[in-house]
Amino acid sequence: MPVTRLNHAVLYVRDVDVSVAFYASTLGFRTVMAMPGAAFLQASGSNNDHDLGLFQIGAQAGPSGAGRTTVGLYHLAWEVDTLDELAATKGRLEAAGAMVGATDHGTTKALYAKDPDGIEFEVSWLVPASLLSQEILDSRESMQPLNLDAEIERFGGQTAGGIGISIPVQI
């Protein structure tokens, strides 16, 4: 069974309306279908039927213990097309008080944030294969804090990112 990509993710949340408003205002998701206690959202650049399903379980729900006291999903990661889009997303996440970190993974420039229920997610831009160097590939082994302004200066704010993972043909 050759899996080609993740089609959608489903999250249990305390309040669907709060989560829908958050994902719409910070990441630009739009509601494609909703019913009491559930909503299905699509990312603005997606051709999926939906990218995120949200199911309400109520205010009494405790925080996820995944990675601390239980097994479970650490985070979801979404890609943006340009570093300018990543910078704009960073601004919206900061305004929402959702940012928890920003990391330079060499081939991937990543923001980390938490939604209103504390569910972590990543928003990233991938260095396109045509711009990869051995230095960038080697830097994957040592994560560094992300200097987004420096990366925009280096690669250009409107440079289209790679897809999935950028693999150079030859270095």
Q: Is the pLDDT of residue 137 over 90?
A: no
Q: Residue 159 pLDDT > 70, yes or no? A: yes
The identity of residue 89, as a single letter, is T
pLDDT in tens, 31-71: 999 999 999 999 999 999 999 999 999 999 999 888 899 99
Q: Which of 4-8, 40-44, 112-116, 129-133 has the least mean pLDDT? A: 4-8
* Residue matched to tokens 């570093």: 83
Above 70 in pLDDT, residue 167? no
Output DSSP code: residue 64.
Answer: P
> Which of 76, 137, 66 is closest to 112 using CA atoms?
76
Relative to beta strand 108-114, strand 99-104 is antiparallel
The whole-angstrom distance between residue 136's C-alpha and the CA centroid of its chain comes to: 21
Position 78 scores a pLDDT of 93
Cα separation, 42 vs 28, in Å, equals 9
**pLDDT reading at 139 higher than 90:** no
Domains and CATH numbers, the chain: 1-58 (3.10.180.10), 74-162 (3.30.720.110)
Q: What digits encode the pLDDT tens for the residues 72-122?
A: 989 999 999 999 999 999 999 999 999 999 999 999 999 999 999 999 999
Helix 83-95 / helix 148-155 crossing angle, nearest 10 deg: 160
**Residue 6 has what pLDDT?**
82
Q: Per the confidence metrics, is the pTM higher than 0.75?
A: yes
- pLDDT bracket for residue 1 (50, 70, 90): confident
